[in-house]
Amino acid sequence: MKPELMVERLDELAIELPSWGFADTGTRFGKFQQDAAAVTIEEKIADAAHVHALTGCCPTLAVHVLWDFRDDLPAARVAALAKQHGLAIGAINPNVFQDQQYKWGSLTNRSAPIRKMALDHILDSIRIGRSTGSRFLSLWFADGTNYVGQADLIERKKWMVAALRQTHAALPTNMTILLEYKPFEPAFYATDIADWGMALLLARAAGPRAKVLVDTGHHYQGANIEQIVAWLLDENMLGGFHFNDRRYADDDLTLGSVDPYQIFRIFHEIENHRFRTGRTPKIAYMVDQSHNLKPKIEAMIQTVDMAQQLYLKAALVDRPALAAAQKNEDLVRSENLVRDAFLTDVRPTLSQWRRRHHLPLDPLEAHRQSGYATRVAAERRQRHGPKGGGAYA
Amino acid sequence: MKPELMVERLDELAIELPSWGFADTGTRFGKFQQDAAAVTIEEKIADAAHVHALTGCCPTLAVHVLWDFRDDLPAARVAALAKQHGLAIGAINPNVFQDQQYKWGSLTNRSAPIRKMALDHILDSIRIGRSTGSRFLSLWFADGTNYVGQADLIERKKWMVAALRQTHAALPTNMTILLEYKPFEPAFYATDIADWGMALLLARAAGPRAKVLVDTGHHYQGANIEQIVAWLLDENMLGGFHFNDRRYADDDLTLGSVDPYQIFRIFHEIENHRFRTGRTPKIAYMVDQSHNLKPKIEAMIQTVDMAQQLYLKAALVDRPALAAAQKNEDLVRSENLVRDAFLTDVRPTLSQWRRRHHLPLDPLEAHRQSGYATRVAAERRQRHGPKGGGAYA
Amino acid sequence: MKPELMVERLDELAIELPSWGFADTGTRFGKFQQDAAAVTIEEKIADAAHVHALTGCCPTLAVHVLWDFRDDLPAARVAALAKQHGLAIGAINPNVFQDQQYKWGSLTNRSAPIRKMALDHILDSIRIGRSTGSRFLSLWFADGTNYVGQADLIERKKWMVAALRQTHAALPTNMTILLEYKPFEPAFYATDIADWGMALLLARAAGPRAKVLVDTGHHYQGANIEQIVAWLLDENMLGGFHFNDRRYADDDLTLGSVDPYQIFRIFHEIENHRFRTGRTPKIAYMVDQSHNLKPKIEAMIQTVDMAQQLYLKAALVDRPALAAAQKNEDLVRSENLVRDAFLTDVRPTLSQWRRRHHLPLDPLEAHRQSGYATRVAAERRQRHGPKGGGAYA
Amino acid sequence: MKPELMVERLDELAIELPSWGFADTGTRFGKFQQDAAAVTIEEKIADAAHVHALTGCCPTLAVHVLWDFRDDLPAARVAALAKQHGLAIGAINPNVFQDQQYKWGSLTNRSAPIRKMALDHILDSIRIGRSTGSRFLSLWFADGTNYVGQADLIERKKWMVAALRQTHAALPTNMTILLEYKPFEPAFYATDIADWGMALLLARAAGPRAKVLVDTGHHYQGANIEQIVAWLLDENMLGGFHFNDRRYADDDLTLGSVDPYQIFRIFHEIENHRFRTGRTPKIAYMVDQSHNLKPKIEAMIQTVDMAQQLYLKAALVDRPALAAAQKNEDLVRSENLVRDAFLTDVRPTLSQWRRRHHLPLDPLEAHRQSGYATRVAAERRQRHGPKGGGAYA
């Protein structure tokens, strides 16, 4: 691909940031609080706008209904606030896992009233999404069981199907359900939507505007994630991604910090799909990370930088040459055509793109020199006072 | 459940033995040859009949087209021979992985002539299956790739769909395709049918008489296999099982030798399905194990004994009581109702069933005292002479 | 083994309960609060004493310095309180992971003052242990790093060695260090004490009264835990266990709820050690579980019941017969001698033991009928008021 | 690091090729034979010399006693032949796993005569190593058990210790034992040397010239291999590496084909050790791969090229800057200093090194244009005739 085209290719890649990614998060053993961490939606919007101003590729912010909307700030006001900051509101994330009533599940709770509460919250979320102009309803369920015998797995499946159908029926025509799967945590025995096969069957049962969301940390060890992505694309069922990385479980580490080649291979399959079909798939790329140690804004900038590099590397693969090598079963050359794209340093191209868009060439350094973190840390420390870190027991 | 009913419940459970399970198998590092191992189909039938005579629950023998049929012994003769021994021929297993032309795949090979060779072999297998009265065409493919870039994963998917449709079209109405999935080995980068989701989509694309085959060793570590089984049952897509156990990879160890509770929980989900629907699902239970160290016949007897015990234990769960406990979210009682069934010693019931069917109470001991192994070892040593163990390199 | 001896064998098995196991615990996504959960050390002692009264095998209570000791209740008073309830204080658990200063580590923190704070807390814990008559100092460290490059792994190793030596130097002669290892969580890139090999080297560097603690949930998928146990025993380095179970990560589920055969095989190796050496190893058996859904007391009773059954089953293996079968390389008989012990229903023996000790035959049922849970739930609700469940972000 | 120094840094890296890497290898499902694959030691030496001539960094060839030495070709002749081709003989690999007598183990076999046969073969290997001038005795054992109860794990440990001591006693002073560990395959229940902890304890028991060999494919999923390497270096127990890659099990794929960042992080820890101690550790870098699909010579060239790139990338990390960033707990900068070295394209430096050594700039292309593969394929096809691919059953 010509360097000129490479630079333009980057214009395609928009990465949505998560509002909760600017807040303090941790592990079951506690949270290490940061003064600069955002608490309110206003602060989250400011932080996201700051990242977008520096990176130029994060025009939307995913929001979390339970944590980001409050009575004194209607949804339309949140959207307006975002707009003032140069952002749009992205995916709406209901929360049906935190409240005590969801102890035994939300949409798959045995209790019809609790199922209704969960569904109502999701329908509310759709209404909020209309007000904010969101195009995606992002659904992740903690639902599942911790012990054999705790519940009938198929009864729960049927409750999920029924509720997803009602959800889909309430969806505006410009909104898409993104249905996430996860094999473990916090349900330790059986998660109700455990893998892409279950998510695909449920999404198809829900309706045509329900697609599958792939969180890169939600697979068993050794899984070939890019093959799943390729199948979902071919089945027209890929809705989007939650980007993060992990060594063992769902560690929610920075994208590419453990296995950058894995993420590259996912982009490679997306490029393969484009090459095969001639069409550019519409995919919602979103970050979903949890930083207990890294400063939130730095981690976001680092993530976006990594995603852009890996996206560019995948675009570099000479696909006609690859197809020709494959035809000859020239295995070593085929692999090298992919590998060498990965080994190519694309930072000069990325710099060129940043220059063209009048962005800082080193967004992390620009952030550090901006004094933003120090300033908001002081403000927020004063505004919110000391925060507790939580306790395991 | 009343003891009387428990005993009858065992009448339901038929376990198919694999012809190759009586032959010498090993690892890539070599095979440890056993004199008593079967080489010819006649010997395999004799061994399987011997196991059936001792256990009373293995009336069919799965056969492997490449290894079990030869020009001088037409398929109908094989079936007749089996019948003489009191057996019927079970699943037909084509082999499209061993021959050199399948280096780059069989049904998903880029070469149309090789794809045709593979398909022709499968269509031949259907014809053999007609002659032998088989009800199942069991399909496992080694197809896949070892390196990123080696092939287009979706091109291979489409070739697989096309060939499975042709296979289904050639199927007699009383025959069912059992489509197996496997996430790794011998394809190390991407297996063309890697998980149950892929197998389900392909089986549905093939036609209504294509179902999914669950090999208990073909999952990533930590997978909740019984949940997959429950979903397949609910989707009416469960065809059967290949029974074995493993600690790490596809070790093909004796069923229940590593994790007996796992297999019990699978039977528990099958019983749940029956309790939920009032219908007994038709499932082909088959053994697929590879014994490099254990004497083959002993391993089979041990496997069947274990399967019968675990099946009985699952039947013991008091399902109405379980449903009641679940309704109360009585988690500890619910779990204990399942767990206690597992902890119950069902060997007395199994003995009662054996007595009723005039079978030896201890089939392993009966086998040892029969002198069968010693006799066939001598015969076969003389008949086949020394065998090589193979070499890694 | 004669039934009479079997019953006596159970007298050997004491299982230590953890004070934090009676408190509310959860996941990073939140806690589901229980009114009956204990908050104060007085409540924890009462709950543990209740479990011991019902099961007769939990005479000691592990305590957690940060959560269980307070200024108005000196350690000696805690020990006296326990004694009044028929309990002794077991392992002392320092906490050097929860406080904000430990963000970058405790004993392996780069900052000498913070390392000193952590060490001082551990030395304090030893003093508390002297007051309470504890025989074990149980050390688990969350220390580690989340990202490559974050720290020099070996520098951290050396700080750990230095601090453990100082800890050992301060140890009374009747106290033993139990050093725990864990491969992941909450450190996601590298845990400073990641596996048994590291724990063994560190314990040996610390001194002769430092041993390794095996938490059954702290291994990679597929690990053969019983082999590690056997090696630690042979190296005279096994100190004790933290009992729990898991499907994927460190799920802290009830012992044996996922894989009872795994725990049985651990006991089997301990029995093998006794058979081989003629000596009964001194092992601290402790529970370490985290119940977000199960009632705490019920979970403990269930755990103890399971541990007793699995211990009995392991004692049932006919070891002279096993040795004889092994000598003949009689693989199937060898395995069956072990397996059949597991398949034997030992609940009658357990009942006999309970009868002999004037314990309720069904401790769970006895607990339910005692009304204890309802009573303390009411009291504690009133005493402590509403509790928050925490939030992910 | 200055570019000039970077180029010189490459002079340090010698990678030993395995003789068996030029022969046909496969999986338990069969081998796909290649005409150009080497059969005799003469052919293997020729192939290795060809790779060394093209890459300039593979001066030694690891040999396999069972497969590479024959009566009509004394060891000294093999060494002379290698020397004629510009190579030296590297590690000597005994084989005590292939022959039928090792069914129940080699050094850990219950039978004293078989243990002696295995030990004798190893002592013979040492003698061969003396003749060939080898500096390493490389020991991998398939020894282990497939089923619980099969053997006493500690009895086997003691036999291993005894034999390794005898082996060490017979070692010339310039020879080192490299002791390999592996957690699974071909022993499926328990491998006698399962992890680095066991290997370290055994090597220390054997004597001062026994070190641990790390095969990059011999770990459980998720293991942090570079931490193990760092500990082994700090304990002065790292002997060398077997390089390969894998997605799930011990797949023996080309180095870096699945996770290049993993191998880079290993080199990074080796560089950390050098930075910390000021000493360059002596490490035997060896390839151990098994190519069923890739042409052997091409795979070797690809491997060496990848290893050189990753080695250079690790050398690029600015370690003083990293230490400074670590001191400030500047997590994002610390990680980026490591990550950015990985993202740097070092192929220009590698080209410069090749130019300086008068090597082809693209060794793979040079190999293809040399006609070597076509020529030897024709010769070897004629010399050896058709080869069988083996059969699973």
pLDDT for D341-357, tens place per residue? Answer: 999 999 999 999 999 99
Alpha-carbon distances, residue A127 vs A117, A130, A132 (angstroms): 15, 5, 9
Indicate whether D1 belongs to any domain.
no
- How many beta-carbon contacts under 8 Å exist across A and C? 133
Contact B147 A335 (CB under 8 A): yes
- pLDDT tens profile B201-258: 999 999 999 999 999 999 999 999 999 999 999 999 999 999 999 999 999 999 999 9
Confidence of residue C6 (pLDDT cuts 50, 70, 90): confident
Confidence of residue B1 (pLDDT cuts 50, 70, 90): low
Indicate whether A302 belongs to any domain.
yes
CA–CA gap between residue A8 and residue A4 (Å, rounded): 7
Confidence of residue C1 (pLDDT cuts 50, 70, 90): low
Q: Average pLDDT, stretch C137-155? A: 98
Contact D189 B253 (CB under 8 A): yes
- pLDDT tens profile C344-388: 999 999 999 999 999 999 999 999 999 999 999 999 999 999 887
**Out of B25, B103, B189, closest to residue D247 by CB:** B189
Report yes or no: B390 at the D interface, CB cutoff 8 Å.
Answer: yes
DSSP codes of every residue in D355-371: HHTT--SSHHHHHHHHT
> Which of the residues C150, C313, C343 would you substitute to probe the D interface, choosing the one with the greatest number of D C-beta atoms within 10 Å?
C150
Q: State the pLDDT at residue D389.
A: 78
CA–CA gap between residue A264 and residue A268 (Å, rounded): 6
Q: Is the pLDDT of residue D1 over 70?
A: no
> What CATH number did the domain enclosing A176 receive?
3.20.20.150
Instruction: Name which of A227, A315, A209, A336 is nearest A268 in CA terms.
Output: A315
Tell me the residues of chain D between 168 and 187 that have a Cβ less than 8 Å away from chain A.
none
Q: State the pLDDT at residue A389.
A: 78
Number of other residues whose CB lies within 10 A of the CB of residue D157: 22
Residue of A nearest to D261 (CA): A259
Contact B220 A222 (CB under 8 A): yes
What share of chain B in percent tops pLDDT 90? 95
Q: Is the pLDDT of residue C4 over 80?
A: no
Structure tokens at D291: 């190519």
Contact call for residues B270 and B229 (beta carbons, < 8 A):
yes
Indicate whether B1 belongs to any domain.
no
Indicate whether D331 belongs to any domain.
yes
> Which of the residues A146, A184, A289 would you substitute to probe the C interface, choosing the one with the greatest number of C C-beta atoms within 10 Å?
A146
Q: Residue D280: which residues within 8 A CB-CB, separation 6 or more?
A: D12, D274
Contact D260 A261 (CB under 8 A): yes
Q: Average pLDDT, stretch B130-147? A: 98
Report yes or no: C44 at the A interface, CB cutoff 8 Å.
Answer: no
User: Which chain A residues are within 8 Å of B340, Cβ to Cβ?
Assistant: none
Task: Tell me the angle at which helices D75-84 and D112-132 cross, rounded to the nearest 10 degrees.
Answer: 40
C213 burial type by CB count under 10 A (0-12 exposed, 13-18 middle, 19+ buried): buried
Contact A110 B327 (CB under 8 A): yes
- ∠ CA(C373), CA(C375), CA(C379), 5° rounding? 115
Indicate whether D163 belongs to any domain.
yes
**Out of B309, B336, B339, closest to residue C343 by CB:** B309
Residue of D nearest to B34 (CA): D100
Structure tokens at C227: 């082999």
- CA distance to partner chain C, nearest, from residue A324 (Å): 38
**Out of B25, B32, B100, closest to residue D100 by CB:** B32
Handedness of CA B313, B318, B322, B323 (dihedral sign): positive
Report yes or no: B227 at the C interface, CB cutoff 8 Å.
Answer: no
- CA distance to partner chain A, nearest, from residue D317 (Å): 16
Contact C334 D147 (CB under 8 A): yes
Contact C220 D222 (CB under 8 A): yes
Indicate whether A152 belongs to any domain.
yes
Alpha-carbon distances, residue B366 vs A386, B306, B309, B369, D215 (angstroms): 75, 17, 18, 5, 46
Q: Residue B94: give the domain boundaries.
A: 9-384
Report yes or no: C249 at the A interface, CB cutoff 8 Å.
Answer: yes
Residue predicted with more confidence, B393 or B371 = B371
Contact C195 D198 (CB under 8 A): no
User: Which chain D residues are within 8 Å of A335, Cβ to Cβ?
Assistant: 254, 257, 302
Indicate whether B390 belongs to any domain.
no
Report yes or no: C27 at the A interface, CB cutoff 8 Å.
Answer: yes
Structure tokens at C366: 């006895």
At residue B344, φ and ψ (nearest 5 deg) are -75, 135
Q: Average pLDDT, stretch B276-301? A: 96
Report yes or no: B97 at the D interface, CB cutoff 8 Å.
Answer: yes
Q: Average pLDDT, stretch B328-352? A: 97
- CA distance to partner chain D, nearest, from residue A68 (Å): 27
Q: Average pLDDT, stretch D128-141? A: 97
- CA distance to partner chain B, nearest, from residue C12 (Å): 22
Structure tokens at C313: 């089953």
Q: Is the pLDDT of residue A20 over 70?
A: yes
Contact B259 C261 (CB under 8 A): yes
Contact A298 D332 (CB under 8 A): yes
Q: Is the pLDDT of residue C223 over 90?
A: yes
Total residues belonging to chain A: 393
Handedness of CA D142, B219, A225, D340 (dihedral sign): negative
- pLDDT tens profile D179-204: 999 999 999 999 999 999 999 999 99
CA–CA gap between residue B17 and residue B62 (Å, rounded): 6
Report yes or no: B387 at the D interface, CB cutoff 8 Å.
Answer: no
- pLDDT tens profile A168-189: 999 999 999 999 999 999 999 9
- pLDDT tens profile A371-383: 999 999 999 999 9
Is pTM, for the whole model, over 0.95? yes
Tell me the residues of chain B between 267 and 296 that have a Cβ less than 8 Å away from chain A.
268-269, 272-273, 276
User: Which chain C residues are within 8 Å of D327, Cβ to Cβ?
Assistant: 110
Neighbours of chain A (3+ CB pairs under 8 A): B, C, D
Contact call for residues C287 and C303 (beta carbons, < 8 A):
yes
SS3 assignment, position D386: coil
Tell me the residues of chain D between 129 and 158 that have a Cβ less than 8 Å away from chain C.
146-155, 157
Q: Is the pLDDT of residue A390 over 90?
A: no
At residue C99, φ and ψ (nearest 5 deg) are -70, 150
Q: State the pLDDT at residue B387.
A: 84
- CA distance to partner chain A, nearest, from residue D281 (Å): 26
Q: Is the pLDDT of residue B5 over 90?
A: no
Q: State the pLDDT at residue D362.
A: 98
Q: Average pLDDT, stretch A25-51? A: 96
Indicate whether C104 belongs to any domain.
yes
Confidence of residue A226 (pLDDT cuts 50, 70, 90): very high
Report yes or no: B40 at the D interface, CB cutoff 8 Å.
Answer: no
Neighbours of chain D (3+ CB pairs under 8 A): A, B, C
> Which of the residues B32, B293, B329, B332 would you substitute to probe the C interface, choosing the one with the greatest number of C C-beta atoms within 10 Å?
B332
DSSP assignment letter at B194:
-
How many structural domains comprise chain B? 1
Contact call for residues B269 and C270 (beta carbons, < 8 A):
no
Strand duo B144-145 + B88-93: pairing: unpaired
